Amino acid sequence: MIKEHVKCLIIGSGPAGYTAAIYAARAEMKPVMYAGLQPGGQLTETTEVENFPGYPEGIQGPEMMMEFRAQAERFGTDIRDGLATEAFLNETPKRILIEDKAEITADTVIISTGASAKWLGLESEERLKSGGVSACAVCDGFFYRNQDVVVVGAGDSACEEAMYLAKLCKNVTMLVRKEEFRASKIMVQRTIDTENITVMFNTETVEVLGDQVVEGIKYKNNKTNEEGVISATGFFLAIGHKPNTDIFKGQLDMDNIGYLNVTPGTTKTNIPGVYAAGDCADKNYRQAVTAAGTGCMSALDAERFLADNGIH
Ligand code: NDP
């Protein structure tokens, strides 16, 4: 097992982590990054990204993450494979275990472990992830202009995504598994007031139909067992996200879902020297560009911590 002390440890490798790495490396903090289970994060699961400034023609999500990585490496970030499995953030220095591979102590820790969209777990959903199944309407809705789409979920996110899609698409059908929404009253009202949104209650997805691309959704009414098919080219999941923060429970302040709490306007957690950037601390925006922004902030916050504590 490697035992090593570093000035700045970055956990997670999406746009937040890579941006933190670029800034930390340029500030000569010699950052070490552990890239996690899915190097590059959620963007490696998307296709075209058209809303990240600087790419007027758009770019594939995985390619964009390779460019972020190359930029972080160019300035000397040491990027390693491995998943942080245990954290002792109240110790000085902070101590992190990386599986059974490494024990790292660090003066500052930047947490950019992201969040994972929840999926239904259907085989057909998995198979069509690059052919019309998406967990992000803002990212992918544009590709379904004037087409028919289905949204699954009944929370605020589902309502928000359905309303976003309703502006672009011909018809939006929402599948709600219970008899009622979970979303706030105002969001529900706006949703049902939107002319081209149809809500089907007590309805569950049986299968996403299509070979290479989504062609329809087979559903079942869980009260009557009646089945049917909705013709659609896009299938959007909005059944919640899970921030990847389990290993920090009991040490870092977080909300009831697991999003890390930071001091507003900073990336500071409740433990000095520990910073949170990107989706693990953001349940509202969850965009690549906002993650990159907070990644930058976290490196600047960490740099100031090192300076204030005379760590060179
Ligand atoms: P929520 O956990 O609030 O809602 C998830 C929804 O998905 C629920 O309706 C749930 O159904 C449904 N669901 C879960 N699993 C399945 C499944 N397997 N099949 C079908 N449906 C399923 O998540 P959100 O992402 O909507 O919201 C997270 C938090 O963020 C909330 O606190 C929300 O208020 C907040 N938020 C606020 C916004 C705003 O104010 N503008 C916008 C977006 C989010 P069921 O009800 O049956 O359990």
**Given this model, what pLDDT does residue 98 score?**
98
Which residues, judged by CB distance below 6 Å to any ligand atom, belong to the binding site of ligand 1? 120, 152-158, 160, 177-178, 182, 239-241, 283
Per-residue confidence (pLDDT) for residue 138, from 0 to 100: 87
Rounded average pLDDT over 169-188: 97
The mean pLDDT of the chain is 96
Instruction: pLDDT band for 50, please (50, 70, 90 cuts).
Output: confident
- Please give the share of the chain, as a percent, with pLDDT higher than 90: 91
For 207-236, what is each residue's pLDDT tens digit? 999 999 999 999 999 999 999 999 999 999
Per DSSP, the residues of 148-164 read EEEEE--SHHHHHHHHH
In whole angstroms, how far apart are CA 151 and each of 51, 192, 197, 226, 312? 21, 14, 10, 19, 51
The CA distance from 187 to 35, in Å, is 37
Q: Flag whether pLDDT at 262 surpasses 80.
A: yes
Name the token pair of 23: 């800034």
256 Cα to the center of ligand 1, angstroms: 13
- Is 64 a residue whose pLDDT tops 90? yes
Q: How far is the CA of 103 from the centre of ligand 1 (A)?
A: 37
Kindly provide the b/e burial profile for residues 143-177, where b requires at least 16 CB atoms within 10 angstroms of the residue's own CB.
ebeebbbbbbbbbbbbbbbbbbbbebbebbbbbbe
Helix (H) or strand (E) holding 302, with range, is helix 288-308
pLDDT at 43 over 90: no
Amino acid at 141: G
User: What share of the chain has pLDDT > 70, as a percent?
Assistant: 100
pLDDT tens-digit readout, 235-259: 999 998 899 999 999 999 999 999 9
**CA 30 / ligand 1 centre spacing (Å):** 40
139 pLDDT more than 90: no
What domains can you pick out in the chain, each with its CATH number? 2-116+241-308 (3.50.50.60), 119-237 (3.50.50.60)
For ligand 1, mutation pick of 151, 164, 177, 206 (most atoms within 8 Å of CB): 177
Residue found by looking up tokens 């949104």 in the block? 197
* pTM summary value: 0.80
